[in-house]
Structure 1
Amino acid sequence: MNMADREKILRFYKGTEGEETAIRLVDNAEAVNKTRKFRTSDFLDPYGQEIAETIAANYDGIRIDFDGGYNGAERQCAALIHDDFMGKVSFDIKIIVAEWNEKFYHIVHRDILGSLMGLGIDRRNLGDLLINPGSVKIICTGKIADFIMNNLATIGAASVSCQYGTLAAIPPREERCKEISVTVASLRIDSIAAAGYGTSRSKMAAEIEADKLKLNWQHIKTPSQLVKEGDIISMRGRGRLEVSQVRGKTKKGRTGLFLKRYI
């Protein structure tokens, strides 16, 4: 890839949520071209993973692999690997188990993420947070694992104790899927999300304004934003909604949809 191609990629993502991710990944790809080895990223959400795949496809002689610490991880690190590299790729992913007394504290995802980021940890260094009653498995980059071990003493009002865990002990992610057949007045995201999550359109518009939903893992600019077949809507604490099929108009002029809701 020459400088013009690099600028073409960066120009495509300029001004979007993926701009900084694209810059880092292009730099990684160019380093791989020079060293003919590999370079791994920090954790990427699914949108960042799509960017990584796009960039790898634009570099001859570079392949890509992903690892989030366990099978089915949503947040994953990307490894850009030169075809000449025959060694083993190291992602350097660690897992820390934090535990608290579940009889007295009900802790949710935002509590854990807030406590970690309150320590000054960049979200890019954190993978999935796997929550069970009384504990959470924190998947993270190796470079911050000791810092978390030494500094994470509380989550919310709960005192926690931390120890290293084993990635191999994490079972593959299992998702329940509910299939939903609905009709909507339009392909606006507030209308589709309301139908998929079983609430009113006005309440869903308020949730969007409160920045609780994302479309294809990107922030939604307005409740009137249009959705197309194949899009993924995610709502904080409510799972993901896939627009599996747009079936066309009914006799009353409404649009038929087939949705899949992953819980």
Structure 2
Amino acid sequence: MSDIYQHFRQDERPFIDQVLEWKQIVQDQYRMKLTDFLDPREQVIVKAVIGDACGLAFFGGYDRAERKRAILYPEYMEPEQDDFELRAFEVQYAEKFVSIDHRSLLGSLMGIGLKRQKYGDLIFSEEAVQLIVSGEIADFVGTQLTKAGKAPVKLEKIELSALHIPASDVEIREDTVSSLRLDAVCALMSRQSRQKAQALVKNGLVKVNWKAVEDPSYQVAEGDMLSIRGFGRCSLTKVDGKTKKDKWKVTFERQK
């Protein structure tokens, strides 16, 4: 058991325990186990912990979804799209008079009393504002969400096929970094000095997986989503070992 924990952060142990419980359910009860929505880092952890112990599939409503539900299943089963129990809504509001942004919509969703894990991606496109939720709470969300910020809203159920997914505009970079410390990775991603990146971290302007981290020595890992104030969001999609010069080989994606 300790061999599993040593590959992850101390604060990730409760989630690892949960994944181990999911695996045990599948192995003992010979049935599928559907999870809540997982962020990219959690998806990496699930893949690592499950390994080949059972089948594993992810889906978040569309191909490039960031947040996805997972299904763990016995190898002789094969999950279908409906098994992920996803529902989608389009947000109706007086767009000529008010605007809605990601922060106000998410804040209002959290304000109706459900945890973030019940919600998938919030999609903002030129055509519409849409969201994906867990099927078991869809009716509740549909009736309870009446505002996004100060804007009155109404939710209209739509099919997943009706989602308006913006064209991908992502910069993919492969590079090397001397350390996986947060300040070093932030310096690489934001193309500035490590000293300036360290100041951003210490001033609470950097989030890792949506939580502010003020420790420059915090160790970043594959799957982490970094939000750097003034520089946008970057996802560390791959950590691919070290070079002969003892630098880490990394790949990350940045929304333009």
Query: 2:10 maps to which residue?
Result: 15
Amino acid at match of 2:146: A
Cα distance in structure 1, aligned partners of 2:111 and 2:148: 10
Cα distance in structure 1, aligned partners of 2:3 and 2:94: 53
Instruction: Find out whether 1:69 has 2:58 as its counterpart.
Output: no
Amino acid at match of 2:226: S
Q: Deviations over 1:105-136 (max 9, x none)?
A: 33221111111111111111111110235842
Cα distance in structure 2, aligned partners of 1:203 and 1:41: 36
Cα distance in structure 2, aligned partners of 1:45 and 1:39: 17
Instruction: Find out whether 1:36 has 2:30 as its counterpart.
Output: yes
Q: Does structure 2 retain, via aligned residues, the 8 Å contact 1:244–1:260?
A: no
Q: Secondary structure at the match of 1:149?
A: helix
By how many angstroms is 1:175 displaced?
A: 2.8
By how many angstroms is 1:47 displaced?
A: 1.1
By how many angstroms is 1:260 displaced?
A: 5.3
Aligned residues: 248
For normalisation by structure 1, the TM-score amounts to: 0.74
Q: Secondary structure at the match of 2:88?
A: strand
By how many angstroms is 1:206 displaced?
A: 3.2
Q: Deviations over 1:180-234 (max 9, x none)?
A: 799999875335525533667547633564264227x776451244669x78552
Query: 1:166 maps to which residue?
Result: 159
Unaligned runs of 5+ in 2: none
Matches within 5 A, 1:169-208: 169-170=162-163, 174-178=167-171, 189-190=182-183, 192-194=185-187, 196-197=189-190, 201-202=195-196, 205-206=199-200
Q: 1:103 to 1:212 in 2, by over 3 A?
A: farther
Structure of greater Rg = 1
By how many angstroms is 1:235 displaced?
A: 1.0
Cα distance in structure 1, aligned partners of 2:64 and 2:163: 10
Amino acid at match of 2:16: A
Matches within 5 A, 1:50-69: 50-57=44-51, 59=53, 62-69=54-61
Unaligned runs of 5+ in 1: 250-256
CA-atom RMSD in angstroms: 3.9
Q: Does structure 1 retain, via aligned residues, the 8 Å contact 2:120–2:132?
A: yes
Q: Does structure 2 retain, via aligned residues, the 8 Å contact 1:37–1:82?
A: yes
By how many angstroms is 1:259 displaced?
A: 6.8
Query: 2:88 maps to which residue?
Result: 95
By how many angstroms is 1:248 displaced?
A: 9.2
Q: Does structure 2 retain, via aligned residues, the 8 Å contact 1:97–1:135?
A: yes
By how many angstroms is 1:10 displaced?
A: 6.0
Query: 1:128 maps to which residue?
Result: 121
For normalisation by structure 2, the TM-score amounts to: 0.76
Q: Does structure 1 retain, via aligned residues, the 8 Å contact 2:30–2:74?
A: yes
